[in-house]
Amino acid sequence: MRVYTAKGGGFCFGVKRAIDIAYKVAGKYKGGVYTLGPIIHNPQVIEELKSMGVMPVEDIRSLKGKDVGAVIIRTHGVTRQAMKKLTDSGYTIIDATCPYVKKAQYYAKLLKDEGYQVVILGSREHPEVKGLMSYAGRGAVVVRDATELPPLKKRVGVVVQTTRHVEALKDVLCAIAGQIKELKVYNTLCSSTTERLKETEELARKVDVMVIVGGKNSANTTQLAKLCRSLSVPTHHIETALDLRESWFSGAKRAAISAGASTPERLIKEVERKIKGYRRKVS
């Protein structure tokens, strides 16, 4: 059995930057260091940071009564209102929002200020999209795909959750173009995600089994698994090498591993090593 590992798997630029910031500030403040929500969607990294004194909290209210040294904003960013609240409360803010997400927030606000109705392609529940909504103004709408588009105003501006698929953007733009007079688009897709999806799709098309490594709560990792399943390739989404089962590879000639943007290199290597161990028995 041949085993391929995606070259673009693992930490993206934004996640690496945020994690580096978190490790750097751990233990540097008199009070505790808190992140609003888990800094990345990877339970193993979160546990490691907790052991160094960087604790995730649910929301700003959860900071009440705590001895807060600093608050880290994670890669997804926060809403405009949350940022104001943190500033008004006098907390020391360490902003680890990914610069690409910042750019998307900036464009959402720009479109609103220029009088466009803002359409955001993304998942309503995702923290990044909640942040974008807060910059996009009252008439803004969030759609998962073209089928969710409501009747729109005459002038529409589009931004995209950074981790969506380019094909979904194309579909939405075609559908919008048919019903409005003016369309302005900021392609806020992150190139790291686009390349990761492309590479994963190419691998999935040539193997018998796909293994996707990353947090079960990571939207971009789940998206990779969904993409592979849509190509009818047996796909297993795992968090660590402990989740692997040798039986998945029985009869397989080729297998491939890909990973989400929040998966540490170490976990990918462990998975690779274990599967290569099966390879020797299978082939």
Under the binding rule (CB under 6 A), the answer on residue 129 touching ligand SF4 is no
Would you put residue 173 in left (φ > 0), alpha (ψ -120 to 50) or beta? alpha
Nearer to ligand SF4, 98 or 168 (CB): 98
The residue within the footprint of ligand SF4, chosen from 4, 8, 13, 274 (CB under 6 A), is: 13
Nearer to ligand SF4, 221 or 235 (CB): 221
Cα–Cα nearest to 34, from 91, 78, 117: 91
User: Could you give the CA distance from residue 184 to residue 155 in angstroms, rounded to a whole number?
Assistant: 8
Residue nearest to ligand SF4 as judged by C-beta position: 14
Q: Which of 48, 58, 125, 128 is an active site residue?
A: 128
The residue within the footprint of ligand SF4, chosen from 162, 200, 223, 263 (CB under 6 A), is: 162
Helices 127-136 and 99-113 pack at an angle, to 10 degrees, of: 30
Under the binding rule (CB under 6 A), the answer on residue 161 touching ligand SF4 is no
Nearer to ligand SF4, 35 or 192 (CB): 192
Contacts of 232 by beta carbon, 8 Å cutoff, 6+ apart: none
The residue within the footprint of ligand SF4, chosen from 123, 192, 218, 235 (CB under 6 A), is: 192
The residue within the footprint of ligand SF4, chosen from 117, 163, 218, 258 (CB under 6 A), is: 163
Nearer to ligand SF4, 100 or 248 (CB): 100
Under the binding rule (CB under 6 A), the answer on residue 14 touching ligand SF4 is yes
Q: What angle is formed at CA 83 by the lines to CA 79 and CA 87, rounded to 5 degrees?
A: 170
The SS3 of residue 12 is: coil
* Binding residues among 223-262 for ligand SF4 as defined by CB under 6 A: 261
Catalytic site includes residue 125: no
User: Could you give the CA distance from residue 46 to residue 248 in angstroms, rounded to a whole number?
Assistant: 29
CB 132 within 8 A of CB 108: yes
- Return the bridge partners of 121, or none: 143, 160
* Binding residues among 69-108 for ligand SF4 as defined by CB under 6 A: 75, 98, 100-101
Under the binding rule (CB under 6 A), the answer on residue 123 touching ligand SF4 is no
Indicate the pairing of strand 141-143 with strand 117-121: parallel
In the complex, least distance from residue 64 CB atom to ligand SF4, rounded to whole angstroms: 29
DSSP for 18-46, written as a single string: HHHHHHHHTT-SSSEEEEES-SSS-HHHH
* Residues of this chain that bind ligand SF4 (CB under 6 A): 12-15, 75, 98, 100-101, 162-163, 190, 192-193, 261
Catalytic positions are: 128
